[in-house]
């Protein structure tokens, strides 16, 4: 396989097969800056979907922006509140890529970013319980799929937040453009720390 020193590509073969050319951080941020936010808190609840997420260059910057806001608001408050908002923001970040390796790398980058910032902000490690919720959401929100030709084969979850409880509504991706999309499965409200069980 032909290798390249350019960090925007992994190999010439992958550019040919997957059109895989990564976007630089500066361009990612310039594009994200174009999305208007009504208030500084809007960033917490806005949902973002990257249909060709690669190794997560957009997803990681979206996460950083969301973390920056919750760090500002909740870093000094109760641990459970901070943990809830980590989960809350993660439920709003979605990615699809046709390449399984890219999906794994994206999930890994987001997990590591949360672990790093959690340590910086709270001075302790993310608990195993929270980590299992983080992994649960990332496995459902960042998925392998063909976002152009096979949208009927992918399921996406919409999370409905009620207090500290979360309901999960699973939709066929191709149904989301319909006026009244019906969920395929609804998982009733659960406490956010119990999402993975
Ligand atoms: C140009 S790269 C962009 C990656 C990332 N968005 C970025 O800007 O750094 C294109 C990505 O699209 C993925 N891809 C190609 N065809 C796809 C398809 N039909 N559905 C989903 N992803 C696809 C490739 O695997 C590759 O990771």
Total domain count for the chain? 1
Which residue's alpha carbon is at the smallest distance from atom 12 of ligand 1?
Answer: 52
**Residue to mutate, 11, 98, 103, 174, ligand 1, most ligand atoms under 8 Å from C-beta:** 98
Q: Is 60 exceeded by the pLDDT of residue 114?
A: yes
Show the domain range for 135: 12-151
**Residue 122 belongs to some domain of the structure:** yes
Ligand 1 centroid to residue 22 C-alpha, Å: 8
User: What residues does ligand 1 touch, defined as CB less than 6 Å away?
Assistant: 18-23, 50, 52-54, 57-58, 96-99, 102, 146-148
**Residue 113 belongs to some domain of the structure:** yes
Ligand 1 centroid to residue 50 C-alpha, Å: 9
Per-residue pLDDT tens digits for 24-57 = 999 999 999 999 999 999 999 999 999 999 999 9
**Residue 108 belongs to some domain of the structure:** yes
The Cβ of residue 26 has, within 10 Å, a number of other Cβ atoms equal to 8
**Residue 170 belongs to some domain of the structure:** no
Ligand 1 centroid to residue 84 C-alpha, Å: 31
**Residue 2 belongs to some domain of the structure:** no
Per-residue pLDDT tens digits for 134-172 = 999 999 999 999 999 998 899 999 999 999 999 999 999
**Residue 158 belongs to some domain of the structure:** no
**Residue 138 belongs to some domain of the structure:** yes
**Residue 172 belongs to some domain of the structure:** no
CA–CA separation, 156 and 172 (whole Å): 6
Ligand 1 centroid to residue 76 C-alpha, Å: 38
Best CA proximity match to 120, nearest among 45, 64, 164, 62:
64
């Amino acid at each position: 396989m032909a290798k390249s020193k350019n960090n925007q590509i992994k190999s010439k073969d992958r550019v040919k097969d997957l059109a895989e050319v990564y976007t630089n951080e500066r361009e990612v941020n310039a594009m994200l800056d174009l999305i208007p936010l009504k208030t500084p808190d809007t960033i917490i609840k806005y949902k973002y979907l990257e249909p060709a997420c690669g190794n997560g260059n957009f997803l990681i910057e979206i996460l950083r922006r969301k973390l920056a806001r919750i760090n500002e608001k909740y870093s000094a408050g109760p641990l459970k509140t901070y943990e809830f908002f980590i989960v809350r923001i993660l439920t709003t970040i979605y990615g699809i890529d046709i390449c399984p390796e890219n999906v794994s790398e994206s999930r890994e980058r987001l997990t590591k970013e949360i672990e790093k910032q959690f340590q910086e902000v709270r001075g302790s490690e993310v608990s195993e319980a929270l980590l299992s919720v983080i992994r649960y959401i990332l496995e459902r929100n960042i998925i392998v799929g063909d976002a152009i030709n096979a949208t009927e084969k992918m399921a996406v979850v919409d999370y409905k937040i009620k207090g500290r409880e979360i309901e999960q509504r699973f939709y066929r991706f191709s149904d989301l453009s319909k006026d009244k999309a019906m969920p395929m499965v609804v998982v009733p409200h659960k406490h956010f720390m119990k999402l993975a069980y």
